[in-house]
Amino acid sequence: MLIENKRKSNTKNILQVADLTEQEILSLIEEAIVMKEQTKAGIPHPYLQGKTLGMIFEKSSTRTRVSFEVGMTQLGGHALFLSSKDIQLGRGESIADTSKVLSRYVDGLMIRTFGHEIIEEFAEHASVPIINGLTNEHHPMQVLADLMTIYEKKGKLKGLKLAYIGDGNNNMTHSLMEGSAIMGMNMHIASPIGYEPLEEIFQKAKKKGEHTGANIQFTNDPIEAIKEADIVVTDVWTSMGMEEEANKRLSIFQDYQVNVDLIQYAKGDFIFLHCLPAHRGEEVTTEVIDGSHSVVFDEAENRLHAQKAVLKRLMADT
C-alpha cells in the first residue's frame, strides 16, 4: 500500500523584519542570548537533530554562509550549500519548480539573492520555511543580529536613537527602519539627495512607529541625524551589483563618512555598528571601526546566535 506523501505545510517564513512582531523579536533575542551562553559554556543544544537546511546563494557571502553552516552544526543538523550556478535554477528551471523539489528534500531553505520578488516566489511555492539571507531590498538576519547586539550593550531597545549614515536606498536601511519601528527605537537616516529609502518601506515604518513610539526620520544632513545618537550605523556606499557606480558614489557620499569629526555629535557612550565587510577609508575610518565605541565583531558573532534562534523557531517542528 502506498502512503501519501504529506509534509507539514509551512506556516511561517522570515522574508523581512516586518514579518515579525515586537514579542517575536524579543523572544528570538532572548533565545539567541541563551544559546550564545550555552555555546560558550560548551553545552550542546541539538534542537535540529536530523534536520537539513538548504542554502541557495546567488550572491557571494562570508558571514551568511559560515554562520548558517556552523549554526546548523551546533543545532545538531546539517547545512547544504547550493550555488545557483551549480543547480538547475542556473540553467533555466523555474523558481516554482526548484522550490517545490527542494521542499521534498530539506526542512528549510535560506536564500541569498537579488530582487526581493525572487524570494517571495520561492516562499509562495515552498512547503518548508523560507529564510531571507539577503535581497537587494531586505536583510532581516543581519538586523536581528544588530538588535540583539544593541540589546546586549544597552539593556533595552525602546526609546534609543539610532542614526544611519550613508546610502538610504539599501537593504540595511530598510530592515533597520522596520526593526526600529517595531521595537520603538527612533531612527534618523542621513543620505544624499537621490539616495533616499524606498518610499513604501519608509512610510510603512513611519506608520508603524506611530503605534510604538518610534520616530523614523530622514534628512540630508548627517550632523542632524547623528546628534545625541545612542547607536551609529553605516554600510558600504556601493552594494553588490552596483560596482559600475563605485566612482560616482565615492564623490556623492564623501560628506557621509563616519569619522572622528562626525561621531563627536553622538552621545558619549554611543556604539558603532557595521554589517561588514567594511571599506575602510570610505564609509568609515579605521579610527572609528577599530575604536572603543565599535562593536562590529560582537555584531558579526551575533549573526550565528540570532540565526540559530530563527532556525530553531522555524524548523524544530517541521
Q: Binding site, residues? A: 61-64, 88, 112, 139-142, 171, 235, 239-240, 275-276, 303
Query: Given 274, 275, 305, 307, which residue is catalytic?
Result: 275
280 is catalytic: no
Check if 139 is active-site: yes
275 a catalytic residue? yes
To the query of whether residue 65 is one of the catalytic residues in this protein, the response is no
Count of beta carbons in the 10 Å neighbourhood of residue 183: 27
* Omega before residue 44 within 30° of 0, cis: no
Do residues 288 and 272 lie in contact, with contact meaning Cβ atoms separated by under 8 Å? Answer: yes
For residues 238 and 249, give the distance between their C-alpha atoms in angstroms, rounded to a whole number.
Answer: 7
List the end-to-end C-alpha distance of the chain, in Å, as a whole number.
25
Q: Are 32 and 309 in contact (CB under 8 A)?
A: yes
Q: Where are the beta strands (DSSP E) in the chain?
A: 52-57, 78-83, 108-112, 130-134, 161-165, 186-190, 216-219, 231-234, 271-274
Considering 107, 167, 230, 235, which one is annotated as catalytic?
235
Which H or E run includes 247? helix 246-252
Does residue 28 contact residue 310 with C-beta atoms inside 8 Å? yes
Sign of CA dihedral 108, 110, 114, 116: positive
Residue 142 annotated as catalytic: yes
Distance CA 269, CA 230 (A): 7
Catalytic residue among 16, 112, 230, 307: 112
Cell matching residue 99:
522550490
Task: Specify whether the CB–CB gap between 54 and 106 falls below 8 A.
Answer: yes
Residue ranges for the binding site for carbamoyl phosphate? 61-64, 88, 112, 139-142, 275-276, 303
Binding-site residue ranges for L-ornithine:
171, 235, 239-240
- Catalytic member of 142, 188, 257, 305: 142
Strands of the sheet with 108-112, listed across from one edge: 78-83, 52-57, 108-112, 130-134
Which grid coordinates belong to 177? 527602519
- Dihedral angle, C-alpha 212, 216, 222, 223, nearest 10 °: -50
Q: Active-site residue numbers?
A: 112, 139, 142, 235, 275, 303
